[in-house]
Amino acid sequence: MKDFRDLKAFFRTTLVLLILPSCTTTQKPPVTRTIIVDPVIKKASPLAKKYSRVLDVPIDSIHNEKLYAFVDEWLGTPYRYGGEDTSAIDCSYFAQKLYHSVYGTLLPRTAGSQFKSNEIYLFKGRQYIKEGDLLFFKLPGSRRVDHVGVYLKNKRFVHSTARKSAKGKNGVQISLLNDPYWDRIFAAAGKVKRN
């Protein structure tokens, strides 16, 4: 009879041990998440972060901080033919001022004289356009170049224009080279000879 009681106690204990874990709640340890921040993004300046978004390019492709600081300072300045300061500026003076401030090179004053300058190699192949190249435009039927901009990246360029942007404003703005309007009136690109 003692063996039977021992056997009964054994089954009771086994049953309790089998049922007990299913009745209790076990707390899972807190989940810790490690966020890995790309060192390139962490080191990038606010200007590089801004223009990587604006130009839709990787952040590590923004190298010329002086260029983007200049663009940032002038962006939104109104357009006025003959304008030469922050109250209003025209396309050729904007290109001239950008080149002098960023690259230390003095360009001629007008878009036409920049286009004709012996200091600029002209070319048409868009696949060869690089950051800092000049972009020249002329209206259909026109014999002269009447607009100039400076190429940034990813088919985008900065210029001062009388043409209103999608935001309804003229002046210094970043535009798409393959926008139908700019694509149609594109005349040539130009690389400035550097000493």
What strands lie across the sheet with 134-137, from one edge to the other? 120-123, 186-192, 134-137, 147-151, 156-161, 171-176
Greater pLDDT, 1 or 30? 30
Q: By the 8 A CB rule, do 147 and 158 touch?
A: no
Query: Does residue 4 lie within any of the structural domains?
Result: no
Q: Is residue 20 part of a domain?
A: no
pTM of this prediction exceeds 0.85? no
* Residue tagged active-site, from 23, 63, 100, 147: 147
Number of residues that this document lists for the chain? 195
Q: Is 63 a catalytic residue?
A: no
The pLDDT of residue 190 is above 60: yes
Active site residue 91: yes
**Per-residue model confidence as pLDDT tens digits over 52-76:** 999 999 999 999 999 999 999 999 9
pLDDT in tens, 160-188: 999 988 888 899 999 999 999 999 999 99
Q: Which of 23, 63, 91, 100 is catalytic?
A: 91
147 is catalytic: yes
Quick check: 146 and 109 in contact, CB under 8 A? no
pLDDT tens for 74-103 read 999 999 999 999 999 999 999 999 999 999
Enclosing domain of residue 105: 39-192
Query: 23, 63, 100, 159: which is the annotated catalytic residue?
Result: 159
Going by pLDDT thresholds of 50, 70 and 90, the confidence category of residue 127 is very high
CATH at 128: 3.90.1720.10
Instruction: Please report the DSSP string for 68-95 in residue order.
Output: HHHHHHHTTPPB-TT-EETTEE-HHHHH
- Cβ-Cβ contacts under 8 Å for 14 (sequence gap 6 or more): none
Number of domains within the chain: 1
